[in-house]
Structure 1
Amino acid sequence: MKQLRSGYTTGACAAAGVKAALLYEQGEDWDSIELRALDGTELLIPVKNIVKDERGITAEVVKFSGDDPDITNGVSVFTTIRHLEAATPEIVFKAGQGIGTVTKPGLSVPVGEPSINPGPRQLIRNVVAEVLGTDKISLEVTISIPAGVELAKQTLNPILGVEGGISVIGTTGVLRPMSEEGFKNSLVPQIDVAKAAGFDALIFVPGKIGERLAGKWHLPAQAMVQTSNFIGFMLEAAQQREIKRVLLFGHIGKLIKVAAGCFYTHNRIADGRLETMAAYGAAEGLSTREVQAVLSANTTEDALAVLERAGLKSRVCQRLAERASLRAERYLFQKMQVGTVMVTMTGELLGMDETAQAICKELGGEVPVGNAE
C-alpha cells in the first residue's frame, strides 16, 4: 500500500513566513525554515521569496498539502511583518488580500477579527519567541492569500459568516491525508454559528436540494446546517452542543437511508434505498409484482411512481419519515428530538412527522399547500 504524504497547513506556511522574515531582518539564512508543529512534529518548509518595502518584510511560502486533496495546495501564502510603536507589546494579526474577516459569533475567533484560527496564531507566537527570545513584542503580522478570494466560494465560509476570503486554519500545523475526517470537522462550526445566533432548533440539509426547498418553506437560513453524508456525526455534534431539536430536511433518496438506520449515507457505503422502500411498501400492502417493480427501479423517484400507481405513496413515505426520526432519536439515545421532512427533486412533500411539523412552526416555516402529509 502506498504511504500517503503529509503536508503543512496554511497556518504553518504563515508561521514559516514570519520566521523567515525575522531571520532576514537579522541577516540570517531564511530560504528553508525548520518549524516545530504544535504536536511536536518537525517540519522543513521552503520559502520561495522575501521582499522588503515600505509595508514591511514579506515572505512567500507555497502551500504543500501532501496527498490530502486540499483546495489551497500550491497557492502562495504571503506573510508581512512590521514593527509597531505601541504601549502594549503584543502581536497584532491583520487580514490581507484573500483572508476572510469573521462577521458572526460562534467561531473560534471573535467577530471583527481576521479569520486566523488560534492554532496558527500560536504557531506564529512560538516562532517570534524562538527568534527574538520573547513574543511580548509590538509586531503586526498580515497574512495574504490572493487566491483565497475565489477559493472561499468553494468553502463554507460564506455560510459561517467569514467574508472576504478563506480562513487560516490548522490545529497543529501538520496536514495529514485524512480528508474525510477533516471535511467532517469543517462542517461542525455551522452548528456553533447557528447556536450563537440564538437557535436551539436546527435544520439539517444533506444537500442542495434540501437547502433550496427549505428556503422556499421560509425556514431561516441561519438555522440551516449542511451535513453532506455525515448525518450521524453531525447529529452527535449537535447533541454534544445541547441543541434541543433537529429537523432533517432533504430528498427521499438520502433520508430513506436514515429510516433504514444508515447514518453515513455515501452511496458506496449505504445504498439500500430501493430495498427499504420495497420493505415498507410490502408492509403497507404492495403486491409481490409491485415489490419486484420497486426493486427493479433505477432511482427512488422511479420507485415512487410504482407506489403512486398502487395508491400507497403517501402512506409509505409518511411511515419512512416517521421511521427516520425514530431511528435518529434512537441513535442519540433519546437525548434530542428529531423530525424529518422528505421531498422530491421538484419539491413535492412526501412525508413529514409530527415533530417535524412542530419544528417548522417554531422556526416560522410555511408548509406549501397541496402537498402530501
Structure 2
Amino acid sequence: MEKKLRSGYTTGACAAAGVKAALLYEAGESWQVVELTALDGTKLTIPVKDVRETDDGLQAEVVKFSGDDPDITNGVSVFTLTRHLTGQKPEVIFKAGKGIGMVTKPGLSLPVGEPSINPGPRQLIRNAVADVLGREDVPLEVTISIPAGVELARQTLNPILGVEGGISVIGTTGVLRPMSEEGFKNSLVPQIDVARAAGFRELIFVPGKIGERIATAWKLPQEAMVQTSNFIGFMLDAAAERQIDKVLLFGHIGKLSKVAAGVFYTHNRIADGRLETMAAYAAAAGLSQDKVKELLAANTTEDALVILEQAGLKETVCRTLAMRASARAERYLFGKMKVGTVMVTLTGELLGMDDTAREIGEALGWKIPE
C-alpha cells in the first residue's frame, strides 16, 4: 500500500498562527491551539508553543511543521511580535526581525526595501487579525523573526534573487504539501524575473554549480545567471514566455550532451544517454568501431573525452555537440528564442561552443581563456 504523505504548514501560516494566538491571549481567550483557514480554503490546526508579554508587544512562538516535505525550515521556531499602533493608518505593517531577509533587487513580488514576507503570508496574517478583531484594517505592527534563517538562507536561492540577511516568509496558501516536482520547478523561475528586472535580456542558464563556477571565472555577470537544475526545458519555456531574447546554456558536457540528444529533463535517473550521444556523434565523425565500443564502456564523460582526444576528434565532436544542443533547444522552443551552448570540463576547460554562444558571451563581456 502506498504511504500517504503528511502535509504541513508554511512559515507564513506559522506567523499567522502566532499573530492570532497573541490577539487571543490579549482577549483572554484560549490560544494554545489556533485554527486558520488557508487561502485555498484548507482548514489548519496549528499548536502554539508560547505567548508572552514583552516591552515591545506580544511575542508568540510557533514551531514549523513541514509534514513529509523535505523543507529546510522544518522544526525551526517562527516568532511574531504583535504591537498595536496609535495615530497610524488602519493597516497591518510588516517588519523583518532576525533571520528574515530584505528585498534588494527588483523583479520579485515585493518592492525593493520591503521585508521578504510574501503576499500570501501577509494576507493570511490579515485574515487572522480579522478572525479575532472582526476586521483586518487595524493599525497593527507585526515583526516576524526566524533566528535560524540567517544560516538557512545560504541553502536557498535568496542571495541570487536579491534577498539579503535571511530567508523569506513564503507560502501561496499556508498549506505545505510534500514538495512536488512542479513546486520545485516554479521556485526556480523568479531568477529569470530578477535578471530581467536588472536589465538583462540575454541570460546564462547554468544547470549546476560547475557551470556557475566556471562562468563566473570567465567574468560572465552573475546577475544574468539562472540556475536550472535538471529542468532545462521548463526554464527555457519560462524564459521565452518572459520574452527573453537569447539564452546561453553553460555547463558540463555530461549534462548538456543530453540536450544535444533532445533531452530537456536531465536527471540521471530519467535520462542518462550521455555516452550514447557522444558515441553517436563520434562515430559520425569517423571514430572506429572498436573505439566507439571503448567510449560506450567509459565510466564518465571525462573518460570518454580521453578517447576522443587520442583519436584527434575531441574538438570536432564537442563543437558538434554544442551546435546540436543549441539547435535542439531552439526547435524545442519552436524558434521563439535564440540559444547558444558552451560545454566545459570539471576543471573549466572549454570543450566546444557554437557561434550563437560566442555572440552572447561577448555581448555579456566574458573573458574566454586562451
TMscore range, shorter length: over 0.9
Distance in 2, Cα, partners of 1:261 & 1:160:
29
Question: What is the match of residue 201 of structure 1?
Answer: 202
Quote the Cα distance in structure 2 between the aligned partners of 1:98 and 1:86. 29
Q: 1 CA distance for matches of 2:355 and 2:22?
A: 61
- Assess if the C-alpha contact under 8 Å between 1:232 and 1:263 holds in 2: yes
- The alignment yields a C-alpha RMSD, in angstroms, of 0.8
For residue 98 of structure 1, give the secondary structure of its aligned residue in structure 2.
coil
Residue in 1 that maps onto 2:324: 323
Aligned amino acid, residue 360 of structure 2: I
Partner of 1:91: 92
1:143 aligned partner, one-letter code:
I
2:162 is the alignment partner of 1:161: yes
Aligned equivalent of 1:141: 142
* Residues 70, 179 of structure 2: 8 Å contact kept: no
Whether the 8 Å CA contact 1:69–1:179 is kept in 2: the answer is: no
TM value normalised by structure 2: 0.99
- 1:181 shift after superposition: 2.5
In structure 2, C-alpha distance between the alignment counterparts of 1:155 and 1:192, rounded to whole Å:
17
In the TM superposition, 1:156-235 aligns within 5 A as 156-235=157-236
Q: Which residue of 2 aligns with 1:277?
A: 278
Give the equivalent residue in structure 1 for 2:132: 131
CA distance in 1, matches of 2:350, 2:141: 54
Q: Distance in 2 between matches of 1:227 and 1:51?
A: 44
> Contact 1:93–1:114 at 8 Å: present in 2 too?
yes
Q: Which residue of 1 aligns with 2:343?
A: 342
Question: Matched residues in 1 for 2:66 and 2:328: separation?
Answer: 38
1:152 match: 153
> Secondary structure, in 3 states, of the residue corresponding to 2:160?
helix
Alpha-carbon displacement from aligned partner over 1:32-89 (angstroms, at most 9, x marks no partner)? 0110000000000000110111010011111000000000000000011000113411
Is 1:37–2:32 an aligned residue pair? no
Report the Cα distance in structure 2 between the residues aligned to 1:73 and 1:229, rounded to whole angstroms: 25
1:77 corresponding residue in structure 2: 78
Amino acid paired to 1:135? E
For residues 212 and 303 of structure 2, what CA distance do their matches in structure 1 show?
23
Which residue matches 1:21?
A: 22
Give CA deviations for 1:189-223 in whole Å, capped at 9, x if unaligned. 11111000000000000111111111121111100
Asked if structure 1 preserves the Cα contact closer than 8 Å seen for 2:202 and 2:248, the reply is yes
The one-letter amino acid paired with 1:316 is V
Task: From the superposition, tell whether residues 86 and 240 of structure 1 become closer, same or farther in structure 2 (CA, over 3 Å).
Answer: farther
CA–CA separation in structure 2 for the residues paired with 1:219 and 1:53 = 49
- Structure 1: how far apart are the matches of 2:205 and 2:137? 44
Counterpart Cα distance in 2 of 1:346 and 1:62: 43
Runs of 5+ consecutive residues of structure 2 not aligned to the other structure: none
Distance in 1 (alpha carbons) for counterparts of 2:88 and 2:157? 38
What amino acid maps onto 1:240 in structure 2?
Answer: E
C-alpha contact 1:41 1:174 (8 A) present in aligned 2? yes
Deviation at 1:110, TM superposition (A): 0.7
Secondary structure of the corresponding residue to residue 20 of structure 2: helix
Match of 1:244 in 2: 245
Counterpart CA distance in 2 for 1:181 and 1:67 is 16
SS of alignment partner, residue 296 of structure 2: helix
2:113 aligned residue: 112
Describe the superposition over 1:77-102 as per-residue Cα deviations: whole angstroms up to 9, x where unpaired.
Answer: 00110001134111100000100000
* Aligned counterpart, 2:59: 58
Q: How does 1:269-308 map to 2 (within 5 A)?
A: 269-308=270-309
1:311 and 1:82 map into 2 onto residues whose CA distance is 72
Corresponding residue of 2:265: 264
Structure 2 distance, partners of 1:357, 1:19, is 56
Check conservation: 2:231, 2:264, Cα contact below 8 A: yes
Following the alignment from structure 1 to structure 2, what is the Cα–Cα distance between the partners of residues 45 and 130?
15
CA deviation map 1:13-47 (0-9, x unaligned): 00011111111110000000110000000000000
Alpha-carbon distance in 1 for matches of 2:319, 2:200: 27
C-alpha separation between the residues in 1 aligned to 2:87 and 2:302? Answer: 65
Q: How many residues align?
A: 369
Q: Which amino acid aligns with 1:58?
A: Q
In 1, Cα distance between equivalents of 2:325 and 2:88: 59
Which ranges of structure 1 fall in alignment gaps of 5 or more residues? none
> Structure 1 vs Structure 2: percent identity of aligned residues?
77
Task: String of CA shifts for 1:307-354, please: whole Å, max 9, x gaps.
Answer: 111111111000100000011111111101110000011111111001
Q: Secondary structure at the match of 1:321?
A: helix
Q: Secondary structure of the residue that 2:120 maps to in structure 1?
A: helix
The TM-score with structure 1 as length reference comes to 0.98
Q: Is the 8 A contact 2:19 2:128 kept in 1?
A: yes
Letter in 2 for 1:304: L
The 2-side partners of 1:170 and 1:189 are apart by 14
Q: CA deviation at 1:179?
A: 4.1
Q: Secondary structure at the match of 2:40?
A: coil
1:234 aligned partner, one-letter code: M
